[in-house]
Chains A and B, each alone.
Chain A
Amino acid sequence: MGTGDAAPLEIRGLVKTFGSVRALDGLDLAVRPGEVHGFLGPNGAGKSTTIRVLLGLLRKNAGEVRLFGGDPWRDAAALHRRLAYVPGDVNLWPNLTGGEVIDLLGRLRGGLDRTRVDELVERFELDPTKRGRSYSKGNRQKVALVAALAADVELLVLDEPTSGLDPIMEAVFQGCVDEFRDRGRTVLLSSHILAEVERLCDRVSIIRAGRTVETGTLAELRHLTRTSIAAELATPPRGLDVLPGVHDLVVEGTRARFEIDTVALDGALDVLRAAGVRSLTCQPPTLEELFLRHYGDEPTAAEPPEADYAVTGR
């Protein structure tokens, strides 16, 4: 342990209970050096709990958690020198100014780059002379983001970091994450904003009810999902309805709309070509659909469907 090239973080079979509630139930997560790893799941899935175990704020009940190869509970302070964290709900001290908080957090992380702070303050259009109590939610978030992004660390842990930011600031934030990755550093980004994850992340882990249900690159995950196809044909298509992997088929004369498992795409195209293709619209699955499939359409037997997720998660 403690070697320089250890994976930034590795979690296997993590269990965390609060009384009788099993918040994490055998969760796995591995983040590779130099990647932006999306950590997705509906509210209450256990994202924040995982992060808080990872930061040594909560004590695990079972499983293995390695942060830079070390034990985050025992060596918390030493390991924290190598990372910066932005919580989902930033609370500041009411009587400290934003500038003071940025300096304080930077110093506690082991020093910060003055010019970088000034640059970030400007980019995020933050007024550092205001006191904690007079900042809006978005501005409190900016204070924590500036403090984290200005730190010279190997890993950024971000828990829904853009909640409260306006779209312009979201873009600024995304630019900053890109730059951070370009310097070969690692990011763990917990989010339920799918557009953000699609835009930023190299790999994604999806968790639900305290368990990892899917992990891989976006491309790999798309393999597991369906593509929507809308086609105008010369003649009515034949045999689409018996083709394996076709779902929600609607045929109106020479028009066909359906969804197809990505692995069965080839066969479907053959059928279409045989009917003569006039026009074809092919939509790759969005993360949104990926999500709906896991949390909306086909809930696993044990858990109730979380239909409201489709609304809250945009």
Chain B
Amino acid sequence: MTGTGVFLRTFLRRDRWVMLWWGIGAALLYYTQAVSVADLYTTQAEFARAAATMQHNAAFIALSGPPRALNTIGGQVTWQATAFGAIVAGLMSMFLVGRHTRAEEESGRDELVRAAAVGRHAPMTAALVTSLLANLFLGALVALSLVAYPLAAADSLALGAGLALCGWVYTGTALVAAQLTSSTRGMYGLAGAFIGLTYALRAVGDVGNPVLTWLSPIGWYQAMHAFSGVRWWPLLLLLAAAAATSATAYAVFARRDFGSGVLASRPGPERAGRSLQSGLGLAWRLQRGAVAGWVVGLFCLGVAYGSIGDDVGDLVGDSGTTRDMFAQGGAGLVDGFFATALLMLAVIGCGFAISSALRPRTEEVEGRAETLLATALARNRWLLGHTAVTVLGVLLVLAAAGLGLGAGYALVTGDGGALPRLSLPILEYVAPVLVLSGFARLLAGLAPRAATLAWLPLAFAAVVMLFGAVLRLPQWVQDLSPFEHLPLVPAQEFRWLPFLAVLLAAACLSAAGQAAFRRRDLH
């Protein structure tokens, strides 16, 4: 363990700003819920009426968690923020752990450091402790912000502590992922898939079979029942899972070679296949793994949502308000649920679209584009190859999500005819998803150093989708999200005009990005 302290200080120093931003983001997620709920309802009666409606909304339950004490501010905060808070903590842990373990090892910097007088486990332990501390900080900020609001101190503390321990679990699983894979990209894929899985498990569990909820750390966190008779014992579950996963990571680490993962890379073909002879062929080769991963992931998430669609009717009962709220345009209740689910799947699919649009930038930064563009491959064709893969990938990923949704519903209800009716409408969202990827391309062409800002519009679109109404954002602000311009299919009727208009916007952004790239220096 020699050197752990030195590493820890270095890591904390490198990460202090990152941690601060994650912490502020998480605290805002919780705090703004409290503020907006308080602003939204003028009388307690109004609040209670709204709460009763939400109580039975299966889409919201699948999105957020089990509804408890929704007629209190604390209950609303718990319901709206915990699931997403846990994902935030999970992503932060994943990036912190990845950055100090697998990424360092892949780049070879770790090797340099390891040659010095440091213990075998020192860098890993320091990374683990860094992430644990970051999560404590995150939880503390959340708890403090809620106490400051002011909400009941004990329950606020429970929300903060549960969040921190959720992050600890994801720290452990990220550490395991770092041992299993041999590339940073693969590690993020594996750890991210695990976070998605835990979220999906509790979504399905909360609406359908509650056993599934108990398989997910997010489920444990929400089982603490903050602001509705808080109980502390689920923290022990989280603590045990964090300890178990971390211990597993150490055990795996002891059995593997430096620089490799357990899932080792095998020798590959000596010669290139037929497809690998153009910019497009290479782009597909580089991105096909990501496309496949997203297709499978969103298909499964679609199936999960689809399979609970049938329970929607039971949950809602005959609460007339919900019917009004959901059945805009007069379509059935089920369609209302599916409209929300499709929109959410499409917003998640933006994750693929943006990362795919930024892929050429990664190629550039890592110096591989230089080698390529010194051949007879023209800049334009190289970039267009990647763009073609992005567009194709978006189509495939969204189609898979829609198909999963329809298939899940058809399987549970035996209503095969519902499949095309529920699946196909998602293709409408190809347009807004491509707007976000087009924006990413524009940034990469125009302001390459700021290319990571391409993720901001996704965060914005998600906020508008989830909280637009709750936060009472002005319409013009909501309209900045390209998703807002399209009808909520299948509850509302598909219309060509907005679809084509948004598609055109995507094409313009993309073309502008292409033109800007042609004019600038390569990194």
Could you tell me which A residues sit within 8 Å of B by CB distance?
52, 55-59, 76-78, 80-81, 83-85, 87, 89-97, 99-105, 107-110, 128-131, 133-134, 144, 157
Most chain B beta carbons < 10 A, residue from A89, A94, A103: A94
Would B371 and A134 count as touching, CB distance under 8 A? Answer: no
In the assembled complex, the CB of A85 is this many whole angstroms from the nearest CB of chain B, namely 4
- Name 19 extra pairs, CB < 8 A, besides A99-B271, A104-B276, A128-B270: A52-B370, A55-B373, A57-B522, A59-B520, A59-B521, A77-B376, A78-B376, A80-B377, A83-B374, A84-B374, A85-B375, A89-B367, A97-B267, A97-B268, A99-B269, A100-B269, A108-B277, A131-B267, A133-B183
Q: A81-B376, A109-B376 are in contact. Are A94 and B270 (CB under 8 A)?
A: no
CB contacts under 8 Å to A, within B128-166, are none
Indicate whether B472 reaches chain A with its CB closer than 8 angstroms: no
Would B374 and A57 count as touching, CB distance under 8 A? Answer: yes
Q: A91-B366, A107-B277 are in contact. Are A129 and B375 (CB under 8 A)?
A: no
Would B272 and A99 count as touching, CB distance under 8 A? Answer: yes
In the assembled complex, the CB of B158 is this many whole angstroms from the nearest CB of chain A, namely 43
Instruction: Count contacts on B: residues with CB < 8 A to the other chain.
Output: 38
- Which chain A residue has the least Cβ–Cβ distance from B374? A85
Would A105 and B375 count as touching, CB distance under 8 A? Answer: yes
In the assembled complex, the CB of A86 is this many whole angstroms from the nearest CB of chain B, namely 8
Q: Mark B233-271, 1 if CB is under 8 A from A, else 0.
A: 000000000000000000000000000000001011111
Most chain A beta carbons < 10 A, residue from B265, B272, B519, B521: B272
Q: A55-B374, A107-B277 are in contact. Are A93 and B286 (CB under 8 A)?
A: yes
Which residues from chain A contact B49 at a C-beta distance below 8 Å? none
Would B376 and A131 count as touching, CB distance under 8 A? Answer: no
Indicate whether B368 reaches chain A with its CB closer than 8 angstroms: yes
Q: Mark B175-195, 1 if CB is under 8 A from A, else 0.
A: 000000011010000000000
Alpha-carbon distance between A119 and B214 when the two chains are bound, in angstroms: 61
Which residues from chain B contact A130 at a C-beta distance below 8 Å? 267-268
Which residues from chain B contact A144 at a C-beta distance below 8 Å? 371
Would A108 and B375 count as touching, CB distance under 8 A? Answer: yes
Most chain B beta carbons < 10 A, residue from A85, A95, A109, A144: A95
| Contact partner, B376, options A92, A94, A110, Cβ 8 Å | A110
Alpha-carbon distance between A134 and B106 when the two chains are bound, in angstroms: 10
Indicate whether B99 reaches chain A with its CB closer than 8 angstroms: no
Some 17 contacts from A to B, beta carbons below 8 A apart, are A57-B373, A58-B521, A59-B520, A76-B378, A80-B376, A80-B377, A81-B376, A85-B375, A94-B183, A94-B185, A97-B269, A97-B270, A100-B271, A100-B276, A101-B272, A104-B277, A108-B377
Indicate whether B348 reaches chain A with its CB closer than 8 angstroms: no
Indicate whether B121 reaches chain A with its CB closer than 8 angstroms: no
Alpha-carbon distance between A129 and B289 when the two chains are bound, in angstroms: 20
In the assembled complex, the CB of B516 is this many whole angstroms from the nearest CB of chain A, namely 13
Which residues from chain A contact B269 at a C-beta distance below 8 Å? 97, 99-100, 129
- Which chain B residue has the least Cβ–Cβ distance from A54? B374
| Contact partner, B367, options A87, A94, A105, A108, Cβ 8 Å | A87
Would B522 and A77 count as touching, CB distance under 8 A? Answer: no
Which residues from chain A contact B366 at a C-beta distance below 8 Å? 91
Which residues from chain B contact A91 at a C-beta distance below 8 Å? 366-368, 371
Indicate whether B285 reaches chain A with its CB closer than 8 angstroms: yes
In the assembled complex, the CB of B278 is this many whole angstroms from the nearest CB of chain A, namely 8
Q: A129-B269, A133-B106 are in contact. Are A93 and B276 (CB under 8 A)?
A: no
Indicate whether B282 reaches chain A with its CB closer than 8 angstroms: yes
In the assembled complex, the CB of A188 is this many whole angstroms from the nearest CB of chain B, namely 13
Q: Mark B359-373, 1 if CB is under 8 A from A, else 0.
A: 000000011101111
Which residues from chain B contact A83 at a C-beta distance below 8 Å? 374
Alpha-carbon distance between A2 and B119 when the two chains are bound, in angstroms: 62
Q: A91-B366, A108-B375 are in contact. Are A52 and B522 (CB under 8 A)?
A: yes
Would A58 and B377 count as touching, CB distance under 8 A? Answer: no
Which residues from chain B contact A93 at a C-beta distance below 8 Å? 286, 368
Indicate whether B323 reaches chain A with its CB closer than 8 angstroms: no
Q: A76-B378, A100-B268 are in contact. Are A133 and B182 (CB under 8 A)?
A: yes
Which residues from chain A contact B371 at a C-beta distance below 8 Å? 85, 87, 90-91, 105, 144
- Which chain B residue has the least Cβ–Cβ distance from A88? B367
Which residues from chain A contact B114 at a C-beta distance below 8 Å? none
Alpha-carbon distance between A76 and B372 when the two chains are bound, in angstroms: 12
Q: Mark B70-97, 1 if CB is under 8 A from A, else 0.
A: 0000000000000000000000000000
Most chain A beta carbons < 10 A, residue from B371, B378, B521: B371
Alpha-carbon distance between A64 and B282 when the two chains are bound, in angstroms: 34
Which residues from chain B contact A84 at a C-beta distance below 8 Å? 374
Which residues from chain B contact A110 at a C-beta distance below 8 Å? 376
- Which chain A residue has the least Cβ–Cβ distance from B281? A104
- Which chain A residue has the least Cβ–Cβ distance from B185? A94
Alpha-carbon distance between A93 and B286 when the two chains are bound, in angstroms: 8
Which residues from chain A contact B106 at a C-beta distance below 8 Å? 94, 133
Alpha-carbon distance between A52 and B369 when the two chains are bound, in angstroms: 12
Which residues from chain B contact A87 at a C-beta distance below 8 Å? 367, 370-371, 374
Would A103 and B272 count as touching, CB distance under 8 A? Answer: yes
Alpha-carbon distance between A130 and B268 when the two chains are bound, in angstroms: 6
Which residues from chain A contact B273 at a C-beta distance below 8 Å? 100
Alpha-carbon distance between A99 and B267 when the two chains are bound, in angstroms: 11
Would B268 and A104 count as touching, CB distance under 8 A? Answer: no
Q: Which 7 pairs across A and B sit closest by C-beta, in order of nearness? A: A103-B272, A77-B378, A97-B268, A85-B374, A108-B375, A107-B277, A129-B267
In the assembled complex, the CB of A149 is this many whole angstroms from the nearest CB of chain B, namely 14
In the assembled complex, the CB of A24 is this many whole angstroms from the nearest CB of chain B, namely 13
Alpha-carbon distance between A130 and B282 when the two chains are bound, in angstroms: 18
Alpha-carbon distance between A92 and B289 when the two chains are bound, in angstroms: 17
